[in-house]
Structure 1
């Protein structure tokens, strides 16, 4: 069987390596393992962006019928990614800072950075500017569940917190305690002459 690309039902284009049976097995040779793991990381990041997914769990490789099936399984060649290999991929993603364990202090679920926290900080700041919310206090809920869908819709709170922390370092945001819990105030940037 020749290796070929494949378009999933969601419209995601899988690379031809996804048709290779050994791709689904953690390879014993370090170079082969490194190449395959790099490919898996790229597929996971691109697929997460394609579907706007923020988390993946080891059990997604164990349980059929979830949103990750399109990439973690290949029924055409009767292969699936083993949970132990997915766990290894998680460690590599976290070490490369394209993911973080979520919740912390466990290794079976990660938060995927298909946009880095620094990129989310800029997206957040641009969105706040475009919605005329500078100098107003917004709840996390107002940001992640706005009345009109935005690039920040359904953004996980841990990722939102990281983006706000990045903006706070440059004096563009400040977390504030409010009656509903926590809010954030955004500040316009000052232009230096």
Structure 2
């Protein structure tokens, strides 16, 4: 089979390497495996951004009903990414700060950073500014479950906390204790930050 791109039912274009059988196998040569892992990482993060997915679990590699099936499996070449290979890729992504284990203290489920915490911080701050929420206190729930569509809708709380931490360090946000849990006040930005 020729190595060509393929468009999935969801409209995502799989790169031509996805049609290569060795891509789905852990390689014994460390340099080759490093390249395979880098390609898988780009593919996973691109697909997550395309579908707005945040979670990836090792067991998704064997679940035909998983949201990840069209990426982790290629029926045209009869290949599927093995769970042990996916676990190694996720470990590499965590080490490179492109994902984080969630919940903590386990290694089979991650939250993906298809935007870095710094990028989410800018999205969050721009959203707060454009919606008139500077100098107001908002709960985390109001941010991730807004009444109108928002780029932050469905954002997992651990990623939101990382974004707020970035804003706090640059004096553009302040964590506030509120009756319903956690909240944040967005502060007018300091010029040049």
The residue number in structure 2 matching 1:104 is: 104
TM-score of the two chains, using structure 2 as the length reference = 0.97
Alignment of 1:25-44 (within 5 A): 25-44=25-44
Aligned partner of 1:118 in structure 2 is: 118
Match of 2:186 in 1: 186
Partner of 2:175: 175
State the match for 1:20 in structure 2. 20
Cα shift at 1:69: 0.4
Aligned partner of 2:130 in structure 1 is: 130
SS in 2 for 1:132: coil
Question: Which deviations, in whole Å up to 9, do the C-alpha atoms of 1:135-173 show, x marking residues without a partner?
Answer: 111011110011111110100000000000111111111
Aligned CA-pair RMSD = 1.0
CA drift of 1:190 comes to 3.8
Distance 1:107 1:97 in 2: 14
Q: Paired residue for 1:152?
A: 152
Quick check: 2:124–2:163 contact (8 Å CA) kept in 1? Answer: yes
Secondary structure at 1:135 match in 2? coil
SS of residue in 2 equivalent to 1:165:
helix
Q: Per the alignment, in what secondary structure is the counterpart of residue 106 of structure 1? A: coil
For 2:110 and 2:156, the matched residues in 1 are separated by: 12
Q: Which runs of 5+ in 1 are unaligned?
A: none
Is residue 59 of structure 1 aligned with residue 59 of structure 2? yes
| TM-score, normalization by structure 1 | 0.97
| Distance in 2, Cα, partners of 1:189 & 1:80 | 48
Q: Distance in 2 between matches of 1:169 and 1:36?
A: 36
